[in-house]
């Protein structure tokens, strides 16, 4: 079979790799029909995630058809169409029992990281019963693919950690795929305003289509204070992963505000605790658990999330090197999510 293989910093190739097989009775082998590229894959290529060794197949998002299951897989069978969660979870360790699948003692984020991932013709999924979700008939698999990572991340680490509620003013710094997913899923909780901040006017236009009430491209702190009559916002979400955008979040919160950090930070940030404590501000962080996939899938099935709008580019799976070229120039190419289909 073929797979997109990481071969050291800056190097990835679509090449032959041996077909995965069942290694443990809880495994399933999935033939991928849909996959995509995540910003995290670009971080890996830059060498920011040293745990990824040369020879690793990248990718942690996918939809496919089950080809084979191990003897103890009970809820899935060959031929089932399934969504692959970016988080693998056993379902019975102490963390899994608390719903903290991200910290599963025999899983977590391992696909395309510590084991071979989903940018391939076939993938082995450990703990298949808990890590794969059967697709309801009629659900567009391209839209459902957004449930592997970005929609649960935006929902759990953005909307839920930010405790978005009826009437809130929410600011989201970063209108990339994750920021837009946070926008879509925050709308479940009916905030009065969602202000999107990004220097890229094209992404802000997409944000307005998806329900942003206000957009800001420059001087975010001044602009948000002006928009809120000097009060600041109830919820600030960081969806970039750099010190500057975290700093914007901590400067725009009103008393009692919530800061939900979604971005993946490679550098330390300055915490303005001297200003935050007296404002009763809450700061939350996290890695997605994906335990809200089932509820998000019901919304998608009912047409409550416009997930298709996030897909800007389509390629055949064997054109994945070209898709990486496009995605790595996302601003110039006006790319949000690239869809690869087999």
* Residue 290, phi-psi category: left (phi > 0), alpha (psi -120 to 50), beta (remainder): left
Phi, psi values for residue 238, rounded to 5°:
-100, 115
Of 1, 42, 65, 93, which lies in the binding site for Zn ion, with binding defined by CB under 5 A?
93
User: Smallest distance, Å, CB 307 to Zn ion?
Assistant: 15
* CB closer to Zn ion out of 49 and 221: 49
User: Smallest distance, Å, CB 290 to Zn ion?
Assistant: 11
Burial class (CB in 10 A: 0-12, 13-18, 19+), 170: buried
Interface with Zn ion, residue 96, by CB under 5 A: yes
User: Smallest distance, Å, CB 85 to Zn ion?
Assistant: 11
User: Smallest distance, Å, CB 93 to Zn ion?
Assistant: 3
- Among 84-92, 224-232, 244-252, 317-325, the segment contacting Zn ion (CB under 5 A): 84-92
Number of residues that bind Zn ion (CB under 5 A): 8
Q: Which of residues 123-162 bind Zn ion (CB under 5 A)?
A: 149
E-only strand ranges, the chain: 2-6, 12-16, 28-36, 62-69, 81-84, 122-125, 132-134, 169-173, 193-197, 214-216, 233-238, 253-261, 282-284, 311-316, 337-341
Pair type for strands 132-134 and 28-36: unpaired
Of 45, 63, 90, 283, which lies in the binding site for Zn ion, with binding defined by CB under 5 A?
90
Instruction: Tell me the per-residue interface mask from 21 to 60 with Zn ion, x by CB under 5 A, - otherwise.
Output: -----------------x-x--------------------
**What span, in angstroms and rounded, lies between the C-alpha atoms of 23 and 21?**
6
Residue for token pair 């019901």: 298
User: Smallest distance, Å, CB 129 to Zn ion?
Assistant: 12
Give contact residues for Zn ion (rule: CB under 5 A).
38, 40, 89-90, 93, 96, 104, 149
């Amino acid at each position: 079979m073929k797979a997109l293989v990481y071969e050291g910093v800056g190097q990835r190739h679509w090449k032959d790799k041996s077909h995965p097989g069942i290694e443990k009775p809880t495994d399933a082998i999935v033939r991928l029909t849909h996959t995509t590229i995540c910003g995290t894959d670009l971080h890996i290529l830059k060498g920011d995630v040293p745990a990824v060794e040369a020879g690793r197949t990248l990718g942690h998002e996918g939809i496919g058809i089950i080809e084979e299951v191990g003897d103890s897989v009970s809820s899935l069978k060959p031929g089932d169409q399934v969504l692959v969660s970016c988080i693998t979870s056993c379902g019975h360790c102490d963390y899994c029992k608390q719903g903290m699948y991200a910290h599963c003692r025999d899983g977590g984020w391992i696909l395309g990281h510590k084991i071979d991932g989903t940018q391939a013709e076939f993938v082995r999924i450990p703990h298949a019963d808990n890590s794969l979700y059967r697709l309801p008939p009629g659900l567009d698999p391209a839209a459902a693919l957004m449930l592997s990572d970005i929609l649960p991340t935006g929902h759990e680490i953005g909307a839920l950690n930010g405790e978005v509620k009826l009437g809130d003013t929410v600011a989201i710094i970063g209108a990339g795929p994750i920021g837009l997913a946070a926008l879509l899923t925050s709308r479940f909780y009916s905030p009065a305003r969602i202000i999107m901040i990004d220097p890229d006017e094209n992404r802000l236009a997409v944000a307005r289509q998806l329900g942003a009430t206000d957009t800001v491209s420059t001087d975010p702190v001044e602009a948000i204070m002006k928009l809120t009559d000097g009060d600041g916002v109830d919820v600030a979400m960081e969806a970039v992963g750099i010190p500057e955008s975290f700093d914007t979040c901590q400067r725009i919160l009103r008393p009692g505000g919530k800061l939900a950090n979604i971005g993946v930070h490679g550098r330390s940030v300055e915490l303005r605790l001297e200003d935050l404590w007296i404002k009763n501000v809450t700061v939350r962080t996290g890695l997605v658990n994906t335990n809200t996939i089932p509820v998000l899938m019901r919304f998608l099935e009912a047409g409550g999330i416009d997930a298709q709008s996030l897909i800007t580019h389509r390629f055949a799976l064997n054109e994945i090197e070209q898709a990486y070229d496009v995605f790595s120039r996302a601003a110039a190419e006006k790319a949000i999510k690239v869809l690869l289909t087999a």
